[in-house]
Amino acid sequence: MVLWVVDYLINFLSYYIVYRWIINVPFRRTTLFHAGVALASCPLLVLLCQPFMFGYDRIVISIVALMVLLVLVKNSHIRVLLTFPIAFFATGVLAILVTYLFSLVTGIPYPVYIDAKWRGLVSEAVFPAVFFVFFLCSRRVREEREMVTFSVPQYLIALLGSVCLFFIIGVSQGMMEEKTALSDWTKPLSFCLVIVGIMFVALVLWQANIEKKALRYKIENEYYQRCLKQQETHIREIVENDQKIRRFRHDVNAHLTALEQCVQTNDMTQLKSYVERMRAETRKLEVRKFTGIGVVDAIISEWYEKAQAEGITWEWDGGLLGQVDAEPFDLCVIFSNLLSNAVEAAEQVVDGGEKRISISCGSFREQICIRVTNTCRNNPEVKRRHGTTKSDHENHGFGLLNIKNTVAKANGEFKISEEPGIFTAEIVL
C-alpha cells in the first residue's frame, strides 16, 4: 500500500506540473491547499486499489489523480479532460526512457532492473525533480503567463504522437524483458514509426510557419512601440503648448498696455514690430491637428517637422477622421509609409526644382479618402513596378507593399500614378 501511495503522489505531481506550469491551467487557492487535497485522497486510492492488487492499479492511480485535478482546477475541466491522455502518455514515455537510461548507466540488465519496484518509482520521480530544480528556480517561470489552449489539430497531433511513442517504447520494453518477439510486432511497429516520422516533418513545417508569424508579430510590435513613442512626443508637445498659452494669457494685459502706449505716442514703427512679434509668438502656440486621431497626428507631425527642416513646401487639406470606423494602426501604417516616401522623394529634387508635398484627406459616406502628391526627380529609365510607372522607385519602392497589404485587409482601393516630376498615391478605405 505504501508503494501505491508513493506511486500515486509521484504521478499526481507530474500531472500537476504539466497542467499548472506547462499548459498554465488556473488552479483554485494555494499550492499548500493542493498538497493537502492530494494527501487526503490517498485513503480513497488505497480503497480503490484493493480489488486490483494483481493488476490495473496503474489505471486506478491515474483515474484518482485525474479526479483530484478536476477538483483543484478552476473553470478548465473540459480542457483537463481533453488533454489528460497527452499528459498520461507523455509522462509515461518519460518514465520508461529514464528507466532505460538508468539501466544502461548502472549496467543492470533491464529485466533485473525493473524487478525492484522502488527503482521504477525513482525513474518516475526524475521528471518532477528535474523540473523543480531547473525550472522553478528561474524567475521567468514564476511570472504570470497566458494559458495554453490546444486547438483540435494540435490536440490530435500531440495525442497521436504520444500514443505512438508509448506503443513503440512498450514494444521495446517487452523485447528487453524477452516477453515478446520483434516479428510479432513488425507491422504495427513500422506503422507507428511511419506516423511519428510524418508527424515530425509536419511539426517542422508547422514550426516554420509559427516562426514566420512570430516575425510578423515582432515587426508589428516594434511599429506599435514606435507609434507609442511618437504619440508620447505629440502629447508632450500639446502639454507644453498649453502651458505656453497659459503664460501668454497671463501677460495679455501687459501686452495691451504696451500696444496702447504705442498708439498714444503714434509710434507706428514700434507698434508694427510689436504686433509682428506677438503674431510670431502666437504661431508657436498653435497645436497642429491633422486628423483628430492622436496617434495618427503624431505620425503626421513627425513627417511635417522633417519636411519643414528640409525646406519642403507642405500643403495640408484635410478633415477630421475621428468619427469614421477605421483602425488607427492601419491609418498609421498608411500615413507613415506615404509620407516617408513623399519626403524622401521630394528631398531628391535637384537643379532648383520645387520641393512640395500636398496631402488631402477626408471622409465621405463612411469612407476615408487619402491623396498624397509630391514632386520627385525625373528618371525615365525606371520601368513599371507595382503596376505603375514611377520615376523615383528607389524612394517609393519601400513601404508600398505594406500599404497595399493594409488597404487590402480593409477591403479598400489603392492607386498610384505618375506625371513628369509628380508622384500621386490615392487610397479609399
Residue 286 or residue 272, greater confidence: 272
- CB neighbours of 328 closer than 8 A, spacing ≥ 6? 293, 295, 296
Domain stop point among 162, 180, 198: 180
Domain contains 252? no
Q: Quote the mean pLDDT of the chain.
A: 79
- Say whether both 9 and 126 belong to one domain: yes
State the pLDDT at residue 250.
62
Exposure string over 204-221, b if 16+ CB within 10 A, otherwise e: eeeeeeeeeeeeeeeeee
β-pairing, 313-318 vs 367-375, is: unpaired
Is position 88 within any domain? yes
Range of the domain at 351: 288-428
In sequence order, which residues have a C-beta less than 8 Å from that of residue 236 and are 6 or more positions away?
none
In a domain, 165, yes or no: yes
Torsion of CA 64, 68, 73, 78, to 10 degrees: 30
pLDDT of 12 over the 90 cut: yes
Report the distance separating Cα 118 and Cα 121, nearest Å.
5
176 and 292: one domain? no
Shared-domain flag, residues 39 and 155: yes
Residue 213 grid cell? 508569424
Q: Could you give the angle at the alpha carbon of 100 between the alpha carbons of 97 and 105, nearest 5°?
A: 125
**CA angle, corner 259, sides to 255 and 265, nearest 5?**
145
Query: Which pLDDT value is given to residue 317?
Result: 85
Query: Is residue 396 predicted with pLDDT exceeding 60?
Result: no
Percent of the chain surpassing pLDDT 90: 14
Strands 367-375 and 413-419 turn out to be unpaired
> Distance between CA 217 and CA 215 in Å, rounded?
5
Q: Does 220 map to a domain?
A: no
- Is 213 domain-assigned? no
d(Cα 62, Cα 41) in Å, to the nearest integer? 13
Measured in Å, how far apart are the chain's first and last C-alpha atoms?
72
Q: What are phi and psi of 295, to 5 degrees?
A: -70, -35
**Would 242 be classed as within a structural domain?**
no
Residue 251, pLDDT above cutoff 50: yes
Average pLDDT over residues 220-228: 73
Q: Starting at the edge strand that comes first in sequence, how are the strands of the sheet with 367-375 ordered?
A: 313-318, 356-364, 367-375, 422-428, 413-419
**pLDDT at site 390:** 42
Residues 33 and 176 in one domain: yes
What is the reported pLDDT for 141?
47
Q: Average of pLDDT values for 165-187?
A: 79
* Tens digits of residue pLDDT in 332-388: 888 888 998 899 889 888 877 889 999 988 887 778 889 999 998 875 444 444 443
Distance CA 64, CA 174 (A): 27
Q: Which residue has the cell 499548472?
A: 20
Mean pLDDT of 80-89: 89
Question: Using an 8 Å Cβ cutoff, are 376 and 345 in contact?
Answer: yes
Predicted structure pTM score: 0.51
Which of 180, 198, 229 finishes a domain? 180
Mean pLDDT of 12-16: 93
Q: Per the structure block, which three cell numbers stand in for 226?
A: 514606435
Higher-confidence position of 371 and 58: 371
The beta strands (E) that lie in 248-318 are given as 313-318
Mean pLDDT value across residues 266-295: 72
- Residue 405 counted as domain residue: yes
Which position has the grid cell 485513503? 43
Q: What's the domain count of the chain?
A: 2
Using the 3D structure, point to which of 149, 180, 211 is the last residue of a domain. Answer: 180
